[in-house]
Amino acid sequence: MKKAYLPRIADKLLKNALESAGAVLIEGPKWCGKTRTAEEIAASILYMQDPDKSESYLLAADTKPSLLLQGSTPRLLDEWQTAPVLWDAVRFAVDQRGENGQFIMTGSAVPVNNAVKHSGTGRISRILMRPMSLFESGESGGGVSLRSLFDGAGTIECFSTMSIEKLAFCLARGGWPASAGREENAILRRVYDYVDAIVNNDISRVDDVEKNPARVLALMRSLARNISTTAAITTIRDDIGADEKSLTEKSVSSYMNALRRLFVIEDLPAWGPALRSKTVIRTSPKRHFVDPSIAVAVLRASPDSLLKDFKTFGLLFESLCVRDLRIYAQILDGEVFHYYDKSGLEADAVICLKDGRWAAVEIKMGAKEIEKAAKNLLALKERIDAGKMHEPSFLLVVTAGEPAYRRDDGVFVVPIGCLRE
């Protein structure tokens, strides 16, 4: 019996996209719930990886791909990239039909560049789907809405019920829908299996180039050790060097690109605002996996070991918060960046909406760090050129604590266990 569907923030994104485009492509890592979300709205479904029918489907795709598009709409084409010709077939069918909401395409890997002939611009809308946020999986009570903060909420009052122990478990378990809401230790093994599949199979299949599993694992471990930092390719290469002395920077970049095409890693880009002074802004991205549980798995860590190593726990907590902020910002038509300049002033996350509004966020586990984080945010606010940009909609410190409140200086303090979109 299929597990009951847990509503996703992506549900509304998909509905809106189908109303405005002929086809919608849902991209994202394996196991994040793309197919399950699409099934909720699809009127007919083609499972390209159905073992009983995949050979027949591939033959049809080579002979007459339009046959695979026949069915009630919206028609779901699951794992379409196994037959890349479907992309051009969908684009052509959308042009011929002239109606919105015809197809939903899901994929957990980006095909090689020459696999499709046309971009699909104007016909195919794209949605990036990530694993579940804490609010979607039911761990966050959702008492504080990111939307309400952007809309000018003056006061907030909320308490998180998430203990540090539960936070460590949720971080190690990840936001994978099949594990959502479950707290037994056996469920942690699923992420280990996920990593093993990436290392031993998926990364070589994504571009049909054989890759050394030991090197892939060494790279992922280095990324995990450098999570939530701006580590350069050279730093990662040197970090790997102890295990893989013959691995070049070019090879590291190639392997990382393959992981990006599998939606396994998702770096956080740097923000480049207009400043009052000529302070040099650092442009290096921060290293993140699409879900911090991947880092926990490749490090062979556990909830108990995280509770004994708060430095690592803190970096992984930041990555968890970045994951959730990205999910919450997406429904607001926003993106998330980080800020770091030559003077050392930084913000762990900057949420920028398409209408020009923005907000700066610091992520701190402990209550003792809140004061310093608030001062950093206020200093950043003063550094921004208000004549060229909006004033920040709000300044926010995301914590692992219990109370959500607004400080006398206007900075909001909100536990990740209270936040929602």
Q: Could you list the pLDDT tens digit for every one of the 421 residues in the chain?
A: 677 899 999 999 999 999 999 999 999 999 999 999 999 999 999 999 999 999 999 999 999 999 999 999 999 999 999 999 999 999 999 999 999 999 999 988 776 555 555 556 678 999 999 999 999 999 999 999 999 999 998 889 899 999 999 999 999 999 999 998 888 888 899 999 999 999 999 998 888 788 889 999 999 999 999 999 999 999 999 888 765 666 788 889 999 999 999 999 999 999 988 887 777 788 999 999 999 999 999 999 999 999 999 999 999 999 999 999 999 999 999 999 999 998 899 999 999 999 999 999 999 998 899 999 999 999 999 999 888 888 999 999 999 999 999 999 999 999 999 999 9
Reference 211, options 224, 195, 200; nearest CA is: 200
For tokens 């998702």, what's the residue?
266
Residue 292: per-residue pLDDT: 98
Residue 280: per-residue pLDDT: 76
Task: Tell me the pLDDT tens digit for each residue of 292-321.
Answer: 999 999 999 999 999 999 999 999 999 999
Residue 248: per-residue pLDDT: 84
Query: How many other CB atoms are there within 10 angstroms of residue 151's CB atom?
Result: 11
For helices 54-63 and 85-97, angle between their N-to-C axes, nearest 10 degrees: 60
Give the bridge partners for 78, in sequence order: 47, 106
pTM reported for the whole predicted model: 0.94
- For residues 230 and 340, the answer to whether their CB atoms sit within 8 Å is yes
10-128 domain in CATH 3.30.390.10?
no
CA distances from 49 to 86, 175, 219, 268 (A): 14, 24, 29, 32
Q: Where are the domains of the chain?
A: 10-128, 144-420
- For residues 76 and 38, the answer to whether their CB atoms sit within 8 Å is yes
Task: Tell me the pLDDT tens digit for each residue of 176-187.
Answer: 999 988 888 888
Give the bridge partners for 351, in sequence order: 336, 359
Helix, strand or coil, per DSSP, at residue 265: strand
Q: How far apart are CA 35 and CA 141, in angstroms?
A: 26
Residue 244: per-residue pLDDT: 61
Peptide bond into 273 cis (omega under 30): no
Helix, strand or coil, per DSSP, at residue 419: strand
Task: Tell me the pLDDT tens digit for each residue of 251-299.
Answer: 899 999 999 999 999 999 999 888 877 777 889 999 999 999 999 999 9
Residue 206: per-residue pLDDT: 83
Residue 234: per-residue pLDDT: 92
Q: How far apart are CA 345 and CA 377, in angstroms?
A: 9
